[in-house]
C-alpha cells in the first residue's frame, strides 16, 4: 500500500464507522458526549480545513461548541439527518434558517456532512466537489 490508498482504507475502516456509530439514530446523537460528536464533525473536510483561520483544529472545535452550544448542535444534526422534510429542505434550513444554522459550519460543511451520513445514497458534496464538476465540463452547478 501507499500513502494515498492508506488514507482511503483509514476512511473505510476508522472514520466512516465513527460517523455511523455516533449519528446512527436520534438516541445515539442525544446520548453522545458533545466532545465525541464534535471530534467526529472534525473529520468533515470542509470543517477541518477552516482550522487555518483559528490556529488549530482544537481551537476551531472549542469555538464551534462555545458559539453553538450542545443543545443546538445536537438539535440541528438530528434535524438534518432525521427531520420530516425532504433532504433538500433540511439541508437548506441548516444553511439558512437561524434555528438550525450553526456558526462555523457553513454550506459546504452541511452538504458534505449530509453526504457522510445520509440513508438516501446522496454523495458527498461541498464547494470543491462543485468546482471539480465544473472543471470536468458539467457546467455551473448550484
Predicted local distance difference test score (pLDDT) of residue 10? 72
More confident residue, 46 or 137: 46
Determine which of 5-19, 31-45, 104-118 has the lowest per-residue pLDDT on average: 5-19
User: CB 24: neighbour CB atoms within 10 A?
Assistant: 13
| H-run or E-run covering 64 | helix 57-68
- Round to whole Å and give the CA distance between 110 and 102: 9
User: pTM value?
Assistant: 0.82
- Round to whole Å and give the CA distance between 92 and 95: 5
- Over residues 86-96, the mean pLDDT reads 96
Q: Under a CB-based contact definition with an 8 Å cutoff, are residues 129 and 141 in contact?
A: no
Determine which of 6-15, 53-62, 119-128 has the lowest per-residue pLDDT on average: 119-128
Length of the chain: 142
The residue assigned the cell 458533545 is 34
Query: In b/e form, how buried is each residue of 42-67, taking b as 16+ CB within 10 angstroms?
Result: bbbbbbbebeeeeeebeebbeebbee
Three cell numbers, residue 4: 494515498
More confident residue, 73 or 8: 73
Q: Under a CB-based contact definition with an 8 Å cutoff, are residues 104 and 64 in contact?
A: yes
Q: Under a CB-based contact definition with an 8 Å cutoff, are residues 55 and 90 in contact?
A: no
Question: DSSP 3-state assignment of 124?
Answer: coil
- Over residues 71-81, the mean pLDDT reads 97
Amino acid at each position: 500500500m501507499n500513502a494515498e490508498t492508506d488514507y482511503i482504507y483509514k476512511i473505510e475502516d476508522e472514520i466512516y464507522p465513527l460517523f455511523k456509530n455516533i449519528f446512527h439514530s436520534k438516541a445515539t446523537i442525544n446520548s453522545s458526549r458533545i466532545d465525541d460528536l464534535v471530534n467526529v464533525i472534525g473529520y468533515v473536510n470542509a470543517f477541518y480545513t477552516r482550522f487555518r483561520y483559528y490556529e488549530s483544529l482544537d481551537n476551531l472545535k472549542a469555538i464551534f461548541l462555545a458559539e453553538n452550544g450542545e443543545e443546538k448542535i445536537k438539535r440541528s444534526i438530528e434535524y438534518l439527518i432525521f427531520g420530516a422534510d425532504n433532504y433538500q429542505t433540511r439541508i437548506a434550513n441548516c444553511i439558512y434558517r437561524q434555528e438550525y444554522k450553526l456558526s462555523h459550519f457553513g454550506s459546504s460543511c452541511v452538504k458534505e456532512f449530509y453526504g457522510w451520513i445520509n440513508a438516501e445514497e446522496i454523495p458527498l458534496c461541498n464547494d470543491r466537489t462543485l468546482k471539480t464538476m465544473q472543471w470536468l465540463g458539467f457546467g455551473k452547478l448550484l
